Amino acid sequence: MLTENPEHGETTATISTTAAPGAERKGLTKKEIAADHPTWCPGCGDFSVLALYFKLIEKRKLWHEKITTIAGIGCSSRFPYFVQAHGAHYIHGRALPFASGISLSRPDLHVFAFGGDGDAFSIGGNHFTHTARKNIKMTYVVMDNWVYGLTKKQTSPTSPLGFKSKTDQWGAVDYPINPIKQALAAGATFVARTTATNPNHVLQMMEAAMDHEGFSFVECLSECVEFYEGAFDAANPRKGGVFNEIPKTHDVTDDLAAYKLAGADFPGHFGIFYKVNKPTKNAKEAEINRGMMEKVKGLKDWQILQKTFDRMK
Ligand SMILES: Cc1ncc(C[n+]2csc(CCOP(=O)(O)OP(=O)(O)O)c2C)c(N)n1
Ligand code: SF4
Ligand SMILES: [Mg+2]
């Protein structure tokens, strides 16, 4: 159908992202969304995240051309290969700038970025901070396994003290970062935590993140069975651990309370730590664009160029 593009004031052919009652198009089936066979090790936590992403697409009736799946480099970042939709397996640590460009230029798309703890907080640490503070609309799911999986066991920024790896043969000596605190301090407007062993909760967090108007960050514990087996057993009731949801009394608009909650010893809490509504960079840029379009209304391209040159004289 033809609709007015609210961001640019143009008339473009667009298709609504959700099927209205009686609409001809049906939601996608898992078969239609799944691409390649995942090449992860059997038992890797990332399988669960992928399965729940498919479920989200199915449940929310998102269509191929309305989703984009971006990732950096790492085992977890192979994600877009396995999704039958637009996306990119981009550069290590650079998923967010790439996803930002898409989000800002294509307001009609749902932009999802996936990646690992190394990708997000080591090489991509700067991009994480700036994407969060700019409040660019997208959902970023970090599959945190506390290790560099793809490169076969190096210490990551979330590896706990004492973790023995190829880069810390005598045990990690550097203090790990806390992804939730990091996201809060950077200015993310939606901050949540979940674990791949609790599928219902993962889906719940991904849905809430997708519905958030702004930068939504979800830390998802996802075990690397090859290089950090048992890392998250303490958060898994099936392995004798506990899954503690954030208390119902927690005020999600209180950043200090969220910060305090995030400081609990592992396994800590799961759920939404923080959620506030703040204008996005997308909305602010769209406003500037609207103003500029108004100024040049009715002018031909060469006349706009001439105006620019005149200003430069
Ligand atoms: C610029 C650059 N530096 C280093 C690498 C090597 N490298 C690839 S993936 C990776 C770390 C992956 O760890 P993480 O992001 O936690 O993902 P995981 O494999 O654990 O899912 C590294 C160091 C690279 N590909 N590019
Ligand atoms: S190495 Fe670890 S993170 Fe990578 S696929 Fe295997 S289990 Fe998953
Ligand atoms: Mg990792």
pLDDT digits (tens, 9 = 90+) for 176-223: 999 999 999 999 999 999 999 999 999 999 999 999 999 999 999 999
Residue 179: which residues within 8 A CB-CB, separation 6 or more? 117, 120, 121, 142, 144, 158, 193, 217, 219
149 lines ligand 1 (CB under 6 A): yes
Q: Given this model, what pLDDT does residue 10 score?
A: 36
156 lines ligand 1 (CB under 6 A): yes
For residue 73, the ligand 1 atom closest to its alpha carbon is 9
How far is the centre of ligand 2, averaged over its atoms, from the C-alpha of 100 (Å)? 27
41 lines ligand 2 (CB under 6 A): yes
Cα–Cα distance for residue pair 103/86, rounded to 1 Å: 13
119 lines ligand 1 (CB under 6 A): yes
How far is the centre of ligand 3, averaged over its atoms, from the C-alpha of 117 (Å)? 5
For residue 143, the ligand 2 atom closest to its alpha carbon is 3
Tell me which of 37, 39, 40 to substitute to probe ligand 2's pocket, judged by most ligand atoms within 8 Å of the beta carbon: 40
Alpha helices in the chain (DSSP H): 30-33, 46-59, 95-105, 117-118, 125-134, 179-186, 199-211, 255-262, 281-295, 301-312
Question: What are the pLDDT digits (tens) for 10-45?
Answer: 333 333 444 555 567 888 888 999 998 999 999 999
How far is the centre of ligand 1, averaged over its atoms, from the C-alpha of 147 (Å)? 10
Could you say which residues of the chain have pLDDT below 50? 1-18
How far is the centre of ligand 3, averaged over its atoms, from the C-alpha of 74 (Å)? 7
8 Å CB contact between 197 and 220 = no
Nearest CA to ligand 2 atom 2: 224
179 lines ligand 1 (CB under 6 A): no
119 lines ligand 2 (CB under 6 A): no
Q: Give me the numbers of helices (H) and strands (E) for the chain, helices first please.
A: 10, 10
> Residue 145 CB: number of other CB atoms within 10 A?
31
8 Å CB contact between 112 and 69 = yes
Burial label, 266 (beta-carbon count in 10 A; 0-12, 13-18, 19+): exposed
Q: 3-state class of 82 per DSSP?
A: helix
Cross-strand bridge partners of residue 162: none
Ligand number, closest to the Cα atom of 151: 1
Tell me which of 37, 145, 228 to substitute to probe ligand 2's pocket, judged by most ligand atoms within 8 Å of the beta carbon: 145
Q: Given this model, what pLDDT does residue 2 score?
A: 33
How far is the centre of ligand 3, averaged over its atoms, from the C-alpha of 44 (Å)? 11
Cα–Cα distance for residue pair 209/212, rounded to 1 Å: 5
Question: For 199, how many CA atoms within 13 A lie in the half-sphere containing its CB?
Answer: 9
Q: Given this model, what pLDDT does residue 117 score?
A: 98
How far is the centre of ligand 1, averaged over its atoms, from the C-alpha of 248 (Å)? 37
